[in-house]
Structure 1
Amino acid sequence: MTFKLSCLVFPIFMFITIVQADVFDITKYGAKPDAEISKALSDAWAAACSAQQPSQLLIPKGRFCLNVIEFKGPCKAPIEVKIDGTVIGPEDPIVIPKGAQWITFSYVTGLKVTGSGTVDGVGGAMSWPTDDPITTVEKGSPLQYNLCFNFVKDSSVTGITSKDSKNFHVNLMTCTNVTFDDFHVSAPKESPNTVGIHIGWSKNINVKNSVIETGDDCVSTGDGCEDVHIEGVKCGPGRGISVGGLGRNKGEKPVAGVFVKNCTFSGTENGVWIKTWPHSHSGDASDIHFEDLTMDKVDNPIIIEQDYCPHIECKKNEPSQVKVHNVFIKNVKGTSNSPEVVKLRCSSANSGCENVQISDINLTYDGPSGPAIQECQNVKPVYAGELVPPGCAAA
């Protein structure tokens, strides 16, 4: 007798549990359009931050007024702050308590700031009459940042716009592994001290695929920073992407590992820029890479300025004590508003700038002051590839 064995196929179902974040909508906490929302926002944050599972704090579409807020952790689970509306700051900086910033995130891990909305700092006549960021206004209140991140880790900012900050748009201090992606900064060319993103004492910071239009540096890297990656940024108007100014304060930590790649500069004062103070304290900046950059009518496309002196009290006759070394500049092209398309003004101390390597430069100048040139002081660059204009010897 022959037996036929038939295979019975039983479907196997995999059950995947998707944990949906709890949503804490500020309108459920009393926030109303065109009204001040500090309390509602604080209450919503407290609830979201104490949630046992991932949560979302939502600022929905609409216009909301905000005097001041600190989003303070640590939180019990990852948290998203989704800004789809427009958040309007006080026009008068005195409204924000002395010593506070406008919007601050502190001691948060696993933070996501997302959305299609805008934080509008309402910089203007009451905030921009001075060109000194540490100058205080009436009653002694300093000018505030739009967004301040302190001790924030493993976090990201995506999609939102920072508009017309009274001072820096973004200030990062002692942060680790933070990414800005598709981030937009908007402020007039004439707005003083409105740095797009300033990074200090932080490591593993990424700024990518973003548009920064402002009155000061698009991105600036201060002391104590490691592994800063800036890629795909459109800068302009503004003062370029910078390292420094370094050496002004005693005890500054070294800068090690700054990578600026595939960025475009349009009508900016500078392109890529390393700046240190004369008559400075000691410091160190190394492993700096400027690569695959496009300049469009930039005043100073490439500049190392070790006599950076924006204030009258500088002693420019005494050299900077900041050591600048291992700088790699590669594949930079475009147009300059000045004939000195490459300016390497290095300090007479510390053997000037050491190991500055420049390759494949094509920067042109079309103006009345003569042909494009490279300018060198206290430095012996190492050249390779095609050079337009030709390189220079040490002065």
Structure 2
Amino acid sequence: MTSKSSLIVFAILMFIAIVHAEVFDITKFGAKPDAEISKALSDAWAAACSAQQPGQLVIPNGRFLLNAIEFKGPCKAPIEVKIDGTVIGPEDPITIPQGSQWITFSYVTGLTVTGSGTLDGVGGAMSWPTDDPTTTVEKGSPLQYNLNFNFLKDSSISGITSKDSKNYHANLLSCTNVTFDNFHAVAPKASPNTVGIHIVWSKSITIKNSVIETGDDCIQTGDGCENVSIEGVKCGPGRGISVGGLGRNKNEKPVKGVFVKNCSFTSTENGVWIKTWPHSHRGDVSDIHFEDLTMDKVDNPIIIQQDYCPHIECKKSEPSEVKIHDVFIKNVKGTSNSPEVVKLRCSSSNNGCENVQISDINLTYDGNAGPTIQECQNVKPVYAGELVPQGCAAA
């Protein structure tokens, strides 16, 4: 039997298993609309996770309140969590136990999260930083992710909406073979740290056909990631799709194989973005592909920023020691809010940028306000195809 045939047979068997799965509806475990459901959810998960056959945990249509929950494995069989209702978190982040996230899935293989429901983290004045010194944030209260995925394998998340997270919408740590499909993350443009999907120490991650509208990076790939595929994502508002920031901490693992393809960016701060800290520890970023992208009024459509310094303690006088190499940028078109549509601000150290290839670029200054340019520092890009604007030589 061929590999393709085996995958088809496996998919059919999984479909049959799900169709005949035992259903664990949280209302059968005591959950009631407009009431707190953490105990009912915990009990339903315990029953589903211990079942010998595939199960389906259901949060039905309706409005439910949730303080915090951890769905922890390993489980004896694959589980589908179907969310069709609206689940609402506590407004005050102190309500969630210290060290916990709002909704966590840990050590599960074969998890499927589906449905048309919404997870509302109720981010706002009590969680997002303000100038008011009496807020819980200024008192040092930790801010929680809407969704936290730890050590997942062979799993998928599709259909659901994450709304107004206090911090990241979805955080992946040490996950393998996880897919986001038709995932929607939404928060106001001014909301801080509301990254759509943050990925670290993970491999074989796919994000496709999704819409991310936040106040921070739509998708952020941190250290230790390998083979991350991002395709068909609509990003904006937000700060773009990024690799990094890298180099701030010791012993960061390399990033290898990030593929961003057929994505669109609307009114974002950045389009595709590689960022490393100055005065950094050593690191390595390679095999990065940005291809078939559309920019609509983006501040920085293409940017490599090796002097990324969001905090005042950065030492910009010292170069980044993160090596960026084998970067391929192809077929990027659209409009920019600034004339510098390509910014390659590479480190002056020996570990700067190598083998950056750019082809078929057509980026114009919005409103025809003037010509566009490419900016290059400490890098000699390899150009091909039609270029608007023309390429630049190393500074």
The TM-score with structure 2 as length reference comes to 0.93
Partner of 1:362: 362
* 3-state DSSP of counterpart to 1:392: coil
Structure of greater Rg: 1
For the 8 Å contact 1:288–1:328, the answer to whether it is kept is yes
TM-superposed CA distance for 1:129, in Å, is 1.7
For the 8 Å contact 1:290–1:328, the answer to whether it is kept is yes
Partner of 1:10: none
For the 8 Å contact 1:85–1:116, the answer to whether it is kept is yes
Partner of 1:161: 161
1:107 matches 2:107: yes
For the 8 Å contact 1:255–1:285, the answer to whether it is kept is yes
TM-superposed CA distance for 1:370, in Å, is 3.9
For the 8 Å contact 2:127–2:136, the answer to whether it is kept is no
Identical counterparts, % of pairs: 86
Deviates more, 1:306-315 or 1:345-354: 345-354
Partner of 1:48: 48
Partner of 2:325: 325
Rounded Cα–Cα distance in structure 1 between residues aligned with 2:97 and 2:138: 13
- Residues paired across the two proteins, number: 377
Rounded Cα–Cα distance in structure 1 between residues aligned with 2:142 and 2:74: 27
1:112 aligned partner, one-letter code: T
Rounded Cα–Cα distance in structure 2 between residues aligned with 1:340 and 1:138: 37
Deviates more, 1:17-26 or 1:299-308: 17-26
Partner of 1:181: 181
Pair 130,310 (structure 1): closer, same or farther in 2 beyond 3 Å: farther
Pair 99,188 (structure 1): closer, same or farther in 2 beyond 3 Å: same
Moved over 6 A (4+): none
Residue by residue, what CA displacement relative to the aligned partner does 1:126-165 show, whole Å, maximum 9, x if unpaired? 111259xxx9736643000000000000000000000000
* 3-state DSSP of counterpart to 1:341: strand
Rounded Cα–Cα distance in structure 1 between residues aligned with 2:157 and 2:22: 20
Rounded Cα–Cα distance in structure 2 between residues aligned with 1:300 and 1:219: 16
* 3-state DSSP of counterpart to 1:279: coil
* 3-state DSSP of counterpart to 1:143: coil
* 3-state DSSP of counterpart to 1:44: helix
Partner of 1:288: 288
Unaligned residue ranges in structure 1 (runs of 5+) = 1-15
Partner of 2:3: none
Which structure has greater helix proportion?
2
1:47 aligned partner, one-letter code: A
2:156 aligned partner, one-letter code: S
1:1-395 mapped onto 2 (5 Å cutoff)? 18-19=16-17, 20-129=20-129, 137=137, 140-350=140-350, 352-366=352-366, 370-395=370-395
Rounded Cα–Cα distance in structure 1 between residues aligned with 2:67 and 2:118: 15
Pair 136,175 (structure 1): closer, same or farther in 2 beyond 3 Å: farther
For the 8 Å contact 1:49–1:77, the answer to whether it is kept is yes
For the 8 Å contact 1:322–1:350, the answer to whether it is kept is no
For the 8 Å contact 1:298–1:335, the answer to whether it is kept is yes
* 3-state DSSP of counterpart to 1:281: coil
TM-superposed CA distance for 1:289, in Å, is 0.2
2:228 aligned partner, one-letter code: V
Rounded Cα–Cα distance in structure 2 between residues aligned with 1:183 and 1:247: 30
TM-superposed CA distance for 1:371, in Å, is 1.4
1:386 aligned partner, one-letter code: E
For the 8 Å contact 1:348–1:378, the answer to whether it is kept is yes
Rounded Cα–Cα distance in structure 2 between residues aligned with 1:224 and 1:62: 39
Rounded Cα–Cα distance in structure 2 between residues aligned with 1:317 and 1:170: 34
* 3-state DSSP of counterpart to 1:28: helix
2:253 aligned partner, one-letter code: K
For the 8 Å contact 1:37–1:64, the answer to whether it is kept is yes
Rounded Cα–Cα distance in structure 2 between residues aligned with 1:99 and 1:63: 26
1:211 aligned partner, one-letter code: V
Unaligned residue ranges in structure 2 (runs of 5+) = 1-12
* 3-state DSSP of counterpart to 2:230: strand
Pair 82,226 (structure 1): closer, same or farther in 2 beyond 3 Å: same
Rounded Cα–Cα distance in structure 2 between residues aligned with 1:237 and 1:93: 25
For the 8 Å contact 2:192–2:216, the answer to whether it is kept is yes
Rounded Cα–Cα distance in structure 2 between residues aligned with 1:146 and 1:39: 18
For the 8 Å contact 1:136–1:143, the answer to whether it is kept is no
* 3-state DSSP of counterpart to 1:23: strand
Rounded Cα–Cα distance in structure 1 between residues aligned with 2:146 and 2:118: 11
Rounded Cα–Cα distance in structure 2 between residues aligned with 1:78 and 1:71: 13
